[in-house]
Amino acid sequence: MRPATEALVVIDVQIDFCPGGALAVAGGDAIVPGINSLMDEFAAVVLTQDWHPADHLSFASQHAGRAPYDMTEMAYGPQVLWPDHCVQGSQGAGFHPDLRTDADLIIRKGFRREIDSYSAFFENDRTTPTGLHGYLTERGITKITLVGLATDFCVNYSALDGARLGYDVTVIEELTRGIDLDGSLDAARSMMRAANVRLG
């Protein structure tokens, strides 16, 4: 068992991000057994859950004439438009049925219509907090290990924000899978390396 100063943060292992889901990530389901085993090593386990209202502005369906994977501008900068996914209370927003959910905390994010939220720590304006930093700080956690979906979006943003907040951050790449839009996977790896995130 690892020390009480370490947490495992499992990002968005939800039905909609797995094969057959609304925003499927190739091989998204293949990481579930490895994540479940890794949970045994950690005294603190946090799950995140992408949790959007049905009219969320990151959905292409909310923008006339726009298609999924187009880019748009939001108040906080550029934003990819996604297929509708992880709608609050829908089946697709649920965790993969085989994922262990006996975690200490579940953080829901992306519930404000106007702001997308990739990171487990901050929404995409990079300032509105999710509350995770407060929780980890109060538990004295200084080191986080990240796994889950998707490598180049929610895992990447969480890793960068974690490093910016001063955590020792490790991403176990083999327990993540990426979307890879226009080279976003390579870009994410370079950004994480530049931020001193350990890629394990």
List 109, 116, 152, 161, catalytic entry: 109
Please indicate whether residue 12 is annotated as part of the active site.
Answer: yes
Site string for ligand VGL, 33-72 (x = CB under 6 A): -----------------x----------------------
Q: Provide the angle, in degrees to the nearest 10, between the axes of the packed helices 156-164 and 184-194.
A: 20
Residue 196: count other Cβ atoms within 10 Å of its Cβ. 10
Please indicate whether residue 109 is annotated as part of the active site.
Answer: yes
Distance CA 55, CA 180 (A): 25
To Zn ion, the closest distance from the beta carbon of 168 in angstroms equals 27
Question: Is the Cβ of residue 87 or residue 149 nearer to ligand VGL in the bound state?
Answer: 149
Amino acid letter, residue 17: F
Tokens 């991403």 locate to 171
Instruction: Give strand pairing partners of 107.
Output: 48
Tokens of 174: 């083999």
Site string for ligand VGL, 173-192 (x = CB under 6 A): --------------------
Which residues are at the interface with ligand VGL (CB under 6 A)?
12, 17, 50, 82, 118, 149-150, 153-154
